Amino acid sequence: MRIRNHRDLWAGVMFFVFGAGFALGSLNYQVGSAARMGPGYFPLLLGIILALLGLAIFAGAFATSNEELQISKVGWWEIGLILGAVALFALVLPQLGIIVAITLLIVVAAFASHEFRLRDTIISIIVLLVMSYLVFVKGLELQFPLWPKFISN
Amino acid sequence: MDALLSNLALGLSTAVTLDNITFCFIGVLLGTLIGVLPGIGPLATIAMLLPATYKMTDPTTALIMLAGIYYGAQYGGSTTAILVNLPGETSSVVTTLDGYQMARKGRAGPALAISAIGSFFAGTVATFLIAAFAPPLSEIAFKFGPAEYFALMVLGMIAAVVLAHGSFLKALAMVVLGLLLGMIGTDVNSGVARFSFDVPELTDGIEFVVVAMGMFGFGEIIANLEQKEHREVFTSKVGRLLPSMQEFKASVLPIFRGTAIGSMLGILPGGGSVLGSFSSYAIEKKLSKHPEQFGKGAIEGVAGPESANNAGAQTSFIPMLTLGIPTTPVMALMVAAMMIHNIQPGPQVMTSNPPLFWGLITSMWVGNLLLVILNLPLIGLWIKLLTVPYRVLYPAILLFCVIGAYSINNNVFDVFMTLPFAVLGYLFKKLDCEPAPLLLGFVLGELMEEYLRRAMTISRGDWSVFITRPLSATMLGIALVLVVIVFMPAIAKKRKEAFAEEEG
């Protein structure tokens, strides 16, 4: 027994964990019977199906007919910066307003590119700020604070 | 026929008043402009623009404008699907398969033009169909009991799974995971908040837009940034804008077939326009003399699904207008808009307010005409988007996504919620799991449970109800045949070869 397809192996594990998790979680709710389904019935059914599919995919990773595949390298730097930029945006928006939030989002996100250029980033920030102001604030009248609270108050 | 013509005449006289045609145009224009932004689909666009119609005094004008926004956003969404591989909604997921490949090969212009032409043709036919068959067609939907709805959804999902790249089992698992994610939130029957972990915002369930943006938008950006060496550059090979005669000829039949299948499936509740575009793609691939081209930029793979998509979007108005039942999230918003103007949607609208009913229907055709007039000249502009270097483009995409997520509920919670889905989307990519089937499951999850529950309550817990009712048995039978076909050794081998080629 040798692992041939590492992607299938871990996909199987992932589906099994999700399936088992949902199945166990649905036991917290009333399951009922087929004729009188409780809120736990359908999720329990689906969870079991998913867990079984996960096992089948896991087993398939050892099959000799499966192709040899490794998992490609994980780009932690890119993930961290992009998700960090989004989280930062959501974090500062309510207090510091949309202008600060957009600026931070673009600056942090821009670092994720291996071809980062300061001049492009500054131009991007200006263009996107003006456009966001016109489209989202003036045009669509979306509801968010424009400036930081300590300035606008 | 006389009645039909006089109805259409009444509708036309309502739809082409200066006010209505102006607002129809504004709707189409705004819809396209916002819909073209990556990660913002028709639903988010309409939700964003809905408040703008509150102030209008004439409900007909308001609905005509909203319908215009819908087509505009739908077309804009297809544009984004083709140019940046970002579907704004499930029904344009299929468009990314070949549309984006065409764009990569410098054929973005023909892809967009065929999409516009196909959509216009489908829209014209579907409008006429609605007018002719709205009353009798509603009876098809009447024949559907819960068992049929459930069977239809199973069929739709299996069809989607068969279409997905790579392993059948993985795609099936993705659908089931999508269904489970759709369970999160308050159960309509018991009022119990499921899998919400006591987070108040989760009791309303997770927004489709959040899942789509996280998995497609952010996941895609991260994966693109990771590939340092060979990043895609479109600049040098934009190519011509209009389709060649050969491409046009290749598209004619797919447009006809897509229109027919999209119109039929669009009437059926539960993701009608989604089923239409998926089925059309499957059919075109099946009928094609060169199926190995599909997924690598076959124009038939754009023409068929895009026509089906638009025809389905149009005919999905039928159950809403005749029965008052919204069958898609977009139709739910239309119902909300009608209620705000004190119109109770349902069969009585046709008789109590004929100018509104027929005006809305004819405005669909006017809207589609405006759409094609507006967009054919703009194709060049959309393609220019491609020449913007990626390092400038992705922060902008990121910005539109976060603002789109925020605008759903004017709450940063939805922005935070995109993060786990971005991680999931990235994980799926690493593990060769196609995310499109998950989205379909996610949208249908709640409906599917509801119909299963109703069917089983009626049959008193007897599962055989799904095979004793002929319509339901037929649909499940087709689903089973599809599964068997996938597992037949000869086809499984061929399928594997086809997908292996795509990856190479």
A108 and chain B in contact, CB less than 8 A? no
* Chain A residue at shortest CA distance from B50: A140
Residues 85-104 on B with a CB inside 8 Å of A are none
Q: What are the tokens at A41?
A: 């019935």
A106 to chain B, minimum CA–CA distance in Å?
6
Are A57 and B170 a contacting pair at CB < 8 A?
yes
pLDDT of residue A45: 94
3-state secondary structure string across B49-65: HHHHHHCCCCHHHHHHH
Q: Are A42 and B183 in contact (CB under 8 A)?
A: yes
CA torsion sign for B402, B407, B411, B413 is: negative
Helix (H, G, I), strand (E, B) or coil at B246: helix
Q: What are the tokens at B150?
A: 């459930």
pLDDT per position as a tens digit, B68-105: 888 888 888 888 788 777 766 666 778 888 888 888 77
3-state secondary structure string across A33-97: CCCCECCCHHHHHHHHHHHHHHHHHHHHCCCCCCCCECCCCCCHHHHHHHHHHHHHHHHHHHHHH
Q: Are A25 and B446 in contact (CB under 8 A)?
A: no
User: In angstroms, rounded to a whole number, what is the distance separating the alpha carbons of residues B120 and A139?
Assistant: 28
A/B interface, count of CB pairs below 8 Å: 187
Closest CA to B388 of B225, B238, B220, B219: B238
Helix (H, G, I), strand (E, B) or coil at A32: strand
Q: Are B443 and B430 in contact (CB under 8 A)?
A: no
Are B228 and A116 a contacting pair at CB < 8 A?
no
The phi and psi torsions of A63 (rounded to 5 degrees) equal -65, 140
A128: which DSSP letter? H
Band the pLDDT of A114: cuts 50, 70, 90: confident
User: In angstroms, rounded to a whole number, what is the distance separating the alpha carbons of residues B300 and B251?
Assistant: 6
B228 and chain A in contact, CB less than 8 A? yes
Environment class of B240 (CB within 10 Å of its CB; exposed 0-12, middle 13-18, buried 19+)? exposed
pLDDT per position as a tens digit, A32-77: 888 888 899 999 999 999 999 999 999 988 887 777 888 888 888 8
Say which amino acid occupies B486.
V
Say which amino acid occupies B416.
F
Say which amino acid occupies B481.
V
User: In angstroms, rounded to a whole number, what is the distance separating the alpha carbons of residues B371 and B33?
Assistant: 12
- Enumerate residues 6+ apart whose C-beta is below 8 A from B433: A11, B166, B170, B171, B173, B174
Are B190 and A87 a contacting pair at CB < 8 A?
no
For residue B51, which residues of chain A lie inside 8 Å, CB to CB? 141
pLDDT of residue B42: 74
B247 to chain A, minimum CA–CA distance in Å?
36
CA distances for B354 relative to A141, B300, B324, B338, B445, angstroms: 34, 39, 15, 15, 36
For residue B395, which residues of chain A lie inside 8 Å, CB to CB? 105-106, 109-110, 121, 124, 128
Are B392 and A136 a contacting pair at CB < 8 A?
no
- Enumerate residues 6+ apart whose C-beta is below 8 A from B466: B147, B150, B151, B455, B472, B473, B476
CA torsion sign for A108, A112, A117, A123 is: negative
Of A36, A42, A114, the CB nearest to B183: A42
In chain B, which residues have pLDDT < 70?
1-2, 37-41, 43-44, 47-48, 51-52, 54-55, 87-91, 135-142, 160, 163-166, 227-240, 268-275, 319, 323-329, 332, 345-348, 385-388, 489-504
**Beta strand segments in B63-113, E:** none
- Kindly state the greatest CA–CA separation across chain B: 65
Which neighbouring-strand residues pair with B185?
B194
∠ Cα B263 B157 A48 (to 5°) = 155
pLDDT of residue B500: 46
Whole-model pTM?
0.71
pLDDT of residue B504: 33
Chain Cα centroid distance, residue B15: 26
pLDDT of residue B495: 55
Q: Are B68 and B370 in contact (CB under 8 A)?
A: yes
Q: What are the tokens at B376?
A: 């054919």
Q: What residue spans define the domains of chain A? A: 6-60, 76-152
Q: Are B43 and B81 in contact (CB under 8 A)?
A: no
Provide the terminal-to-terminal Cα distance of chain A, rounded to the nearest Å: 68
CA distances for A29 relative to A22, A105, B198, angstroms: 11, 40, 14
Higher pLDDT, A76 or A86: A86
B190 and chain A in contact, CB less than 8 A? yes
Q: What residue spans define the domains of chain B? A: 2-229+246-503
Helix (H, G, I), strand (E, B) or coil at A69: strand
Count of other CB atoms within 10 angstroms of residue B10: 16
For residue A108, which residues of chain B lie inside 8 Å, CB to CB? none
Q: Provide the total of helices (H) and of strands (E) in chain B, helices listed first.
A: 23, 2
pLDDT of residue B400: 79
pLDDT of residue B145: 79
User: In angstroms, rounded to a whole number, what is the distance separating the alpha carbons of residues B420 and A83?
Assistant: 9
Are A47 and B48 a contacting pair at CB < 8 A?
no
Average pLDDT score over chain A: 86
Closest CA to B75 of B310, B301, B359: B310
User: In angstroms, rounded to a whole number, what is the distance separating the alpha carbons of residues B39 and B219?
Assistant: 12
Are B190 and A39 a contacting pair at CB < 8 A?
yes
A95 and chain B in contact, CB less than 8 A? no
pLDDT at A24 over 90: yes
Are A87 and B419 a contacting pair at CB < 8 A?
yes
Are A29 and B49 a contacting pair at CB < 8 A?
no
B462: which DSSP letter? -
CA distances for B39 relative to B160, B210, B401, B426, angstroms: 21, 9, 6, 16
